[in-house]
Structure formats: C-alpha cells, structure tokens
Amino acid sequence: HTDQSHTDQSHTDQSHTVNETLKVSKINKYVLYAPRSAEKKMRSLVNEAMDGMDPPLGRDEWTLLPMVDADGLTSSQLTVKLKDGLEQVRSIEGDGAPVAFVGMDSPTLKSAEVAQSLEVAAEGKSYIKPAKDNGYVLIA
C-alpha cells in the first residue's frame, strides 16, 4: 500500500463502521476520538456517513467525546481510555446503561452484531468480537 491507498482504505473502513452502527435504532451514539485536534475530522466523517444513508439521518445522531489524555493513543493506554469513555457515556446515560465500544476501522462489523452486543450488555454480560489483527472489533 502507498500512504494514500492506506489512507483511502482506512477512510472506507471507517465509513463502513459508521454506516453499520447508524443502522441500529433506538440507541444513543457517541464517538470517542483522539487526538483532541481530530474533532473536526471525526464530525466530517460522521456527517458524510449520515448524508449517505437512505433515508438520510439527522446529524445530531452522534455525540463526539474526546478521549482522556487524547493526545496519544497506544495499546497500553487503551484500558484507561475505554474506562474513561465508559464513565463519560454513563455520566450522560446513567449507571448501568449498556455500552458497546466499536473500533472505527471494522469493515466486517454488521449492525445486527452491534444490536446483539447491547442486548447482552443490558443483561450484565460481556460481548467481545475479536479482530483479525488480534485486537477487538467490538467490546460491550
């Protein structure tokens, strides 16, 4: 891959993830992003995905939240960042609200899996979908 083709593929994967998550109804959607300077780019990506939906959805479907210490993201800090993200969302939604973390470059993720993960989380159980790169596509 050239740098441009890798960037194009990453954008395509991110658009797919946003589109699949948008298909899940009756949930509040949040984007945890890093670094803090990426807010404009993330808002643009989400708006672009929503404009492409049939029918188009309102742009207020998503709330953007910066990650704690969002100026750097390494796997060793992921637990801290996800814990902070969970606390941010639950401060808005209330304790015990089911939450699913979805990787932004998850081209294999289907909306039904997001919905199923939230149902499992509402029962107080965990739901994990591993990624091919040994990471995670979805954690609820």
Q: How confident is the model at residue 111 (pLDDT cuts 50, 70, 90)?
A: confident
Q: Which of 8-22, 53-67, 114-128 has the lowest mean pLDDT?
A: 8-22
pLDDT attached to residue 138: 86
- Pick the residue with more confidence: 83 or 52? 83
- Does residue 105 carry a pLDDT above 70? no
Cis before residue 35, ω within 30 degrees of 0? yes
- Does residue 6 carry a pLDDT above 50? no
Q: What percent of the chain has pLDDT over 90?
A: 7
**What three-state secondary structure class fits 114?**
helix
**What three-state secondary structure class fits 31?**
strand
Beta pairing, strands 101-102 & 62-66: unpaired
Ramachandran region, residue 47 (left: φ > 0; alpha: ψ -120 to 50; beta: rest) = alpha
| Number of C-beta neighbours around residue 81 at 10 A | 19
CA separation for the pair 80, 64 (Å, rounded): 18
Give the global pTM.
0.67
What's the chain's average pLDDT?
75
Q: What is the pLDDT of residues 40-65, one digit of tens each?
A: 988 887 777 767 666 555 556 678 88
Q: Which long-range contacts (CB under 8 A, 24 or more apart) does 44-49 make?
A: 45/11, 45/14, 45/15, 45/18, 46/18, 48/15, 49/15, 49/18, 49/19, 49/22
